């Protein structure tokens, strides 16, 4: 059921942007600050599941710990009745998947001009570098989770399956990350974008 037209605190939900395994993302209007935002909604069927709630809230904490121009920003958490939501920066542009699908590909080529591919890859690496410095591993990095703005700025999105390593020294003093909140034996991520070693093992 679409939530278009629903009011969530100061946010007026406008339209569905997309949906995935970890929730639905809507475009919304921040009526207090007069700006457009994205709102990620935890499916209502999971709102009573403690594990799903923990993972959803952990995603918000992970994003709050990452302040970087190549990572989509978080504005806050909202709760209304059985609706749980993360309020995010609305990133306008095309996903890397959309960009690649429109680009003719010669044999052995990504289809993107070398300079463009290098600029995108460098920004992705910068985003992952700051995440890894904080002991955060994305675990679901794929073209559909990367948006390139009209100005050419890359934004890495969707840290819903991120893992926080328990051996990162800076996390022992940080209240913004949780560890060990995935089930033993669960295989998480998108199979087509996993390394062969991960496909054959469980997390």
Domain harbouring 186, CATH code: 1.10.510.10
- Final residue of a structural domain among 29, 55, 89: 89
Tens digit of pLDDT for each residue in 101-130?
988 766 666 578 999 999 999 999 999 999
2 in a structural domain:
no
Domain of 35: which CATH number? 3.30.200.20
- pLDDT of 13 reads 96
Q: Are residues 46 and 136 in the same domain?
A: no
Q: Among this protein's residues, is 129 annotated catalytic? A: no
In this structure, the number of other CB atoms found within 10 A of the CB of residue 24 comes to 17
- pTM of the full predicted structure? 0.78
Residue 21 belongs to what domain range? Answer: 7-89
Cβ distance 77 to 85 under 8 Å? yes
- pLDDT of 61 reads 93
- pLDDT of 104 reads 77
Q: Are residues 85 and 102 in the same domain?
A: no
- pLDDT of 106 reads 63
Which residue from 9, 37, 8 is spatially nearest to 25, judged by alpha carbons? 37
- Final residue of a structural domain among 31, 57, 89: 89
Low-confidence ranges of the chain (pLDDT < 50): 168-189, 191, 193-203
From 30, 49, 82, 140, the catalytic residue? 140
């Amino acid at each position: 059921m679409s939530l278009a037209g629903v009011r969530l605190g100061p946010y007026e939900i406008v339209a569905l942007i997309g949906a995935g395994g970890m929730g639905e993302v809507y475009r919304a209007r921040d009526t207090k600050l007069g700006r457009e935002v994205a709102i990620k909604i935890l499916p209502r069927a999971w709102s009573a599941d403690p594990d799903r709630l923990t993972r959803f809230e952990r995603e918000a904490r992970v994003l709050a710990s990452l302040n970087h121009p190549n990572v989509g920003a978080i504005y806050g958490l909202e709760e209304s009745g059985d609706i749980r939501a993360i309020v995010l920066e609305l990133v306008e542009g095309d996903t890397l998947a959309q960009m690649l699908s429109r680009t003719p590909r010669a044999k052995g080529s990504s289809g993107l001009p070398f300079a463009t591919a290098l600029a995108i890859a460098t920004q992705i690496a910068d985003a992952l570098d700051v995440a890894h410095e904080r002991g955060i591993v994305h675990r679901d990095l794929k073209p559909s989770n990367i948006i390139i703005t009209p100005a050419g700025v890359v934004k890495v999105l969707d840290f819903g399956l991120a893992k926080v390593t328990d051996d990162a020294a800076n996390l022992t003093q940080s209240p913004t990350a949780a560890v060990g909140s995935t089930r033993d034996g669960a295989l998480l991520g998108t199979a087509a974008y996993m390394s062969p070693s991960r496909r054959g093992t469980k997390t």
